[in-house]
Amino acid sequence: MPSAKILEQKQQLVAELTERIKNSCTGLLVTYEGINVADDTKLRKDLREAGVQYTVIKNTLLHRAFAETGLTDLDQHLAGTTAIATSDDDYVAAARILCGFAEKSKKGFEVKGGYMDGEVISMDKIVELSKLPTRDVLLANVLGAFQAPIASFARAVQAIVDKGGVEACAPAEDAAPAAETAEAPAEEAPATEAAE
């Protein structure tokens, strides 16, 4: 039987893990077997730079945290060595980094399961998330979409300025309707002659 001190430490770990899971938007469980120290160091660095918290946790502690957060469907993945990666604000970073690493390693490192917004998600959904671009790329695409109409307007204004301003463009517009009205009576004239 564990001592009261050890039991208190475990309860504290479960409480911290439960809070971490509740505050995260996504989380993934991985089996980290077959990974060497150099690869593990690089993986942890990549995850840290992306704002993903990655920790090796005992399965019994994860089981208790999942019971507290309502993610008991993830219990089926609690076998062997397990690590959890959580992100507070980036939905794709953990999936992109861990799935990419799993594809390259092929030595026992694999993504086992995960959750998003408090709901367990399938491996298909995890793979879909891993294929999405980074948040910075998505934001750049959105910004580009907003800037496109403004850039087109700026080019149109610059073209007017290059032609000599609004005054240079205005006579060309006034001349076009005059030419149309001059052609109209010429077309009507044969019709009136044929009527006589």
Answer whether residue 196 shows pLDDT above 50: no
The DSSP bridge pattern shows strands 109-116 and 119-121 to be: antiparallel
Q: Give which of 114, 110, 92, 121 is closest to 30, Cα–Cα.
A: 110
Exposure string of 106-138, with b = 16+ CB inside 10 Å and e = fewer, is eeebbbbbbbbeeebbeeeebeebbeeeeeeee
Both 157 and 65 in one domain: the answer is no
Domain range enclosing 165: 138-195
Question: How does residue 29 score in pLDDT terms, banded at 50, 70 and 90?
Answer: very high
Both 65 and 126 in one domain: the answer is yes
What CATH number should be reported for the domain holding residue 66? 3.30.70.1730
Domain count along the chain: 2
Q: Give which of 96, 83, 88, 103 is closest to 46, Cα–Cα.
A: 96
Using one digit for the tens of pLDDT, what is the confidence trace for 146-186? Answer: 777 777 777 777 777 777 765 655 555 444 554 455 454 54
> CB of 21 within 8 A of CB of 27?
yes
Both 58 and 146 in one domain: the answer is no
Using one digit for the tens of pLDDT, what is the confidence trace for 97-120? Answer: 999 998 887 677 889 999 999 899
Question: How does residue 1 score in pLDDT terms, banded at 50, 70 and 90?
Answer: low
